């Protein structure tokens, strides 16, 4: 997984400032007298060390050069941009960035700053000298400045050393402008990158998460409009680079905050600050001031055009908040200066720019920018692409996101294109989507520990699924739409669903997004710690997100299913709900049933949740049970009366496949205030009403009991 870090984050290593000061004594172009009390006149005649001039009076004397070879990494592109931008900022000169393909056969006379393994003779010689892993070298070699490292970490450290020692750059708020920038002609430094002490995660998440966990939370009221855009980008940058992070009072923040504060079991003991040092609530101005020294400036955009998406996409890579003409004054009051004005820039510009290759291609966000700060923070924290297709042509939607890696995950939603076409579009690209358009604080929440198994009584070892009276009909109710992460972070915990007073009175199975434990572990902990013995959680919906697996390439589907199986095993969840578009086939299902972490599947179909009428398919000796009924207002077969009648008239014999009924409960149908089953209302009340209509020989059970009986009585 590629990791992206802004320029500032490279200059925050513990003890770096002290180390660099010591190192500068070896390469300084100033007076080298050994005794400060030596007053002999001969000292004035000591010849000065020869210098090379990098820039003079606004004119760049050197060109930054990186490799153009096939194996060139995005990191080298990013580092070369950092060198170019830092040199330009310090000197006021415009430095050029080129690849070694230019002048590859005639460069001896050129003054160049060579980054990494270029084709220049000076780079080749230097690379031969850094044979030890993590070793790096910065030196002047004739009219070339050579910066090389054995490994990405070492190369990053070499650039940090060059910029801080020779250029004097420590970020936008900490450098001294210099009309003339010179460097010791004999400068040479060899060093070794040593790994910093980092927080060890118990397992590797399956999606890009914040690189570190917050130790302090700044709790603020949720902003909107242009301020929401600015603070959403600030929240993402804080999650990427700081242990002091931002949390907005939004969604179910009061449900998961106790776990963050350690006011509940398994909490994290994070300090929460609701006011700044002056005793006032956090505002746009005070939050910008709090982080100003850690930022490189601001990006100016116009929210009326595509440039807002360009700005958000670049925020991580330029370490800059996004502002508009309405609040640019707040950024400047905090001491921030303009890094880039993208007003009028569009998606075509971005994809042709030198920045596009820097983007995280394992995740993306599809989200209207006017919904900020929702999901804006996560896009910035991950350094990924964000845009929104406001149309109805699936091929144009495909073209917008087709650069993503196979197996990538897109967060957000697209009501304009529509549910089916959006999911189909991503599925055809071997990509999952997580509905999350109304989710807040994901960048901050993603930094907490991701492991932790479900503590469910149904998973007790050595449990027997034999029943005393075999003349039984077995029913399992599963709530739909558990893949919807914004719902999990919003009103899923309300009285219509998980927060219902009816919960605990009858067995109910709930879906959770596969990656909720990665992206919002404190909320995941809330659900794990508040379940009743009659509750059970399974994974929804079709993989690491919402997708139609049958439309994936077979090899990529296998790889995605393997990642899901590993996630489920780490969580201790055995069963999943798979929704597909006519994907109830052995070939399609085998991708999932072959995984050790998946012991059974509840299948629902997109066109009609219960389109396969309860059929059970055995794949790899594991049960795949299709929905027999959909509890959904509107369709005649989805009414309470129709379902109760069908169950009561069905066989009651645990050895008969027809005696097992999986009912998928449409989350957006329920009992309204008039006691009618309709769109909206309480889904839990609808399930309760249906259960009251069932005969005495009908057992309502959770997913594990349901699958346990099927395996015991029908298993092959």
pLDDT tens across 658-713, in order? Answer: 999 999 999 999 999 999 999 999 999 999 999 999 999 999 999 999 999 999 99
537 torsion bin: left (phi>0), alpha (psi -120 to 50), beta (else): beta
Q: What is the rounded CA–CA span in Å between residue 455 and residue 535? A: 11
Give rounded-to-5 percent helix, strand, coil for the chain. Answer: 35, 20, 45
Q: What is this structure's pTM?
A: 0.77
Instruction: Quote the pLDDT of residue 13.
Output: 34
Nearest alpha carbon to residue 381 among 212, 204, 203, 159:
212
pLDDT of residue 632: 97
Q: Enumerate domains of the chain plus CATH numbers.
A: 7-28+48-192 (3.30.379.10), 216-386+433-445 (no CATH), 457-714 (3.20.20.490)
* Integer Cα distance of 92 and 111 in angstroms: 18
pLDDT for position 204: 80
Integer CA distances (angstroms), 164 to 82, 186, 407, 632, 644, in order? 12, 18, 39, 63, 73
pLDDT of residue 35: 38
Cβ contacts of 353 within 8 Å, gap of 6 or more: none
CA–CA separation, 547 and 556 (whole Å): 13
Give the C-alpha separation, 254 to 249, whole Å.
Answer: 8
Contact predicate 406/558, CB 8 Å: no
What is the phi/psi pair of residue 368, to 5°?
Answer: -65, 130
Report the pLDDT value the prediction gives residue 464, as an integer from 0 to 100.
85
Alpha helix (H) residue ranges in 460-615: 485-488, 516-519, 521-530, 554-571, 586-593
pLDDT, tens digit (0-9, with 9 covering 90-100), for 169-190: 766 656 788 888 888 888 899 9
> Which residues of the chain carry a pLDDT beneath 70?
1-49, 70-73, 170-174, 195-203, 263-266, 450-462
The two tokens of residue 63 are 């060109």
Give residue 51's pLDDT.
86
* Element containing residue 397 per DSSP (H, E): helix 394-401
């Amino acid at each position: 997984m590629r990791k992206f870090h802004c320029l500032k984050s490279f200059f925050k290593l513990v003890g770096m400032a002290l180390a660099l000061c010591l190192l500068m004594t070896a390469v300084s172009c100033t007076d080298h007298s050994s005794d400060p009390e030596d007053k002999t006149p001969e000292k004035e005649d000591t010849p000065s060390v020869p210098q090379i001039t990098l820039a003079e009076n606004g004119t760049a004397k050197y060109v930054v050069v990186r490799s153009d070879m096939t194996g060139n990494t995005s990191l080298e592109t990013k580092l070369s941009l950092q060198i170019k931008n830092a040199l330009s900022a310090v000197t006021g000169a415009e430095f050029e960035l080129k690849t070694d393909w230019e002048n590859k056969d005639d460069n001896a006379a050129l003054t160049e700053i060579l980054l990494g393994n270029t084709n220049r003779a000076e780079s080749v010689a230097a690379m031969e000298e850094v044979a030890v892993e993590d070793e790096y070298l910065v030196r002047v070699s004739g009219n070339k400045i050579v910066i090389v490292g054995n490994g990405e970490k070492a190369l990053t450290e070499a650039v940090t050393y060059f910029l801080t020692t020779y250029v004097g750059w420590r970020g936008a708020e900490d450098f001294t402008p210099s009309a003339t920038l010179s460097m010791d002609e004999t400068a040479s430094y060899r060093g070794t990158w040593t790994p910093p002490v980092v927080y060890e995660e118990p397992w590797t998440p399956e999606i890009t998460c914040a690189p570190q966990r917050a130790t302090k939370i700044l709790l603020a009221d949720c902003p909107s409009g242009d301020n929401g855009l600015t603070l959403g980008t600030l929240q993402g940058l804080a999650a990427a680079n700081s242990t002091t992070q931002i949390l907005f009072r939004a969604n179910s923040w009061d449900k998961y905050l106790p776990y963050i504060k350690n006011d509940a079991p398994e909490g994290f003991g994070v300090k929460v600050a609701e006011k700044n040092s002056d005793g006032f609530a956090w505002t746009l101005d005070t939050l910008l001031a709090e982080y100003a020294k850690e930022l490189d400036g601001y990006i100016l955009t116009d929210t009326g055009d595509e440039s807002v998406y360009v700005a958000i996409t670049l925020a991580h890579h330029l370490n800059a908040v996004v502002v508009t003409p309405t609040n640019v004054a707040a950024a400047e009051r905090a001491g921030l200066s303009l890094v880039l004005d993208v007003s009028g820039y569009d998606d075509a510009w971005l994809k042709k720019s030198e920045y596009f290759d820097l983007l995280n291609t394992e995740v993306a966000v599809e989200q209207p920018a006017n919904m900020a700060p929702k999901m804006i923070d996560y896009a910035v924290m991950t350094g990924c692409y964000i845009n929104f297709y406001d149309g109805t042509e699936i091929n144009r939607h495909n073209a917008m996101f087709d650069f993503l890696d196979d197996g990538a995950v897109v967060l957000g939603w697209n009501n304009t294109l529509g549910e089916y076409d959006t999911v189909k579009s991503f599925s055809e690209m071997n990509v999952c989507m997580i509905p999350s358009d109304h989710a807040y604080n994901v960048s901050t929440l993603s930094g907490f520990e991701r492991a932790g198994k479900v503590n469910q009584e149904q998973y007790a070892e050595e449990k027997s699924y034999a029943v005393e009276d075999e003349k039984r009909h077995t029913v399992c109710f599963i709530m739909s739409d558990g893949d919807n992460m914004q719902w999990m972070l919003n009103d899923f915990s309300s009285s219509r669903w998980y927060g219902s007073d009816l919960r605990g009175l009858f067995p109910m199975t709930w879906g959770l997004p596969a990656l909720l434990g990665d992206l919002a572990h404190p909320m995941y902990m809330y659900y794990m710690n508040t379940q009743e013995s009659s509750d059970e959680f399974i994974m929804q919906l079709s993989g690491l997100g919402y997708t139609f697996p049958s439309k994936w390439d077979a090899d990529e589907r296998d790889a995605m299913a393997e990642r899901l199986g590993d996630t489920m095993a780490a969580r201790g969840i055995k069963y999943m709900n798979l929704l597909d578009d006519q994907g109830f086939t052995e070939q399609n299902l085998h991708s999932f049933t072959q995984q050790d972490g998946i012991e059974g599947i509840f299948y629902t179909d997109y066109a009609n949740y219960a389109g396969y009428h309860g059929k059970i398919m055995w794949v790899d000796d594991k049960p795949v049970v299709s929905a027999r009924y959909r509890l959904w207002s509107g369709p005649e077969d989805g009414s309470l009366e129709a379902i109760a009648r069908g169950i009561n008239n069905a066989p009651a014999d645990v050895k008969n496949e027809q005696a097992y009924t999986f009912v998928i409960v449409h989350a957006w149908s329920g009992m309204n205030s008039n006691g009618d089953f309709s769109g909206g209302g309480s889904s839990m009340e609808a399930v309760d009403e249906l259960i009251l209509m069932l005969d005495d020989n009908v057992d309502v059970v959770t997913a594990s009991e349901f699958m346990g009986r099927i395996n015991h009585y029908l298993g092959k």
